[in-house]
Amino acid sequence: AVGKNGDIFDDNTGRLIKAGTQIKFGLHLHPYGEETPVMVHVGLKLYPEGYVPKYQLVSQHMGDDDDLLIPAGEKGVRTDGYTMLTRPAVVTAFQPHLHTRGQAQCIEAIIPQTDEEGNVLIQAPGHSPAPLMRQMTLNCVPQWRFNWHLVYNYSEEAAPIFPPGTVIHISTWHDNSDTLRVNPDPRNNVVYGQRTIDEMSFAWVSYYYIDDEEYKARVAAKNARTSNNQ
């Protein structure tokens, strides 16, 4: 993506590339009537042969809306997408991906209720019939710029740790008005598509799963750090 900085990998993490894997490029190109060469390169930095990192890092599309529709002339058009984390997880990075009409994007977590050790509650305390979920805003990019697809990497201490069943919620806003200087054509409705003059509304979210025992240990350590800082 245009203006992207690097992904930062935590210690003992890596992306699994299986033998025989084919690398696919998704290039935002648009024909303009001339034959033009395109230079594409890929570089891989591998662990030493035989070394297997403990955690398998995943970078996943979250918030996609293939039915995206941004009416002509409108500003602040909102779309939402939801993805569930099925196991305990550590989120390491957030990278919005929009095109020229992108206005803003936020990532929040909708988190199941847990006890002090991090166990997800099946029965709510007191007289409530069901446990409540709580919302936590992680980051917002309030002034999107197409030329800066920045990756927001969390430090290891700040990386959010979530219980199973947490839902990652991506909220996106687009501006298709004539007040947007870089709008290709505010007279047209805009839909999802691969061309730069089309739009997208997702984020790359990087995370890795951990087991229940490690999750509880990390929650305890984080709670201890919070107590010591108070």
Task: Convert the pLDDT of each residue in 38-94 to its tens digit.
Answer: 888 888 888 999 999 999 999 999 999 889 999 999 999 999 999 999 999 999 999
pLDDT reading at 2 higher than 90: no
* Domain extent at residue 140: 1-14+53-115+130-223
Q: Is residue 9 part of a domain?
A: yes
Per-residue model confidence as pLDDT tens digits over 26-45:
777 778 899 999 888 888 88
- Domain assignment of residue 34, yes or no: no
**Both tokens assigned to 188:** 């047209």
Phi and psi of 175, rounded to 5°?
-125, 110
What is residue 40's three-state secondary structure?
coil
Question: Cβ(88)–Cβ(216) under 8 Å?
Answer: no
- Residue 4 has what pLDDT? 86
Per-residue confidence (pLDDT) for residue 113, from 0 to 100? 86
Domain of 144, CATH number, reads 2.60.120.230
CA distances from 74 to 99, 115, 145, 185 (A): 16, 44, 18, 12
Q: Can you give the pTM of this predicted structure?
A: 0.88
Cα 1 from chain centroid (whole Å): 14
Q: Does any domain span residue 43?
A: no
Cβ(96)–Cβ(106) under 8 Å?
no
pLDDT tens, residue by residue, 142-171: 999 999 999 999 998 899 999 999 999 999
Of the two residues 191 and 228, the one the predictor is more confident about is 191
Backbone angles phi, psi at 219, to 5 degrees: -65, -45
As given in the structure block, the two tokens for residue 130 are 């069901």
The residues that bridge with 13 in the sheet, in sequence order, are 55
Give Dmax (Cα) for the chain.
Answer: 70
Give the span between the Cα atoms of 78 and 104, in whole angstroms. Answer: 9
Distances (CA, A) of 32 to 29, 35, 183: 9, 9, 19
Total domain count, the chain: 1
Task: Flag whether 176 is in a domain.
Answer: yes
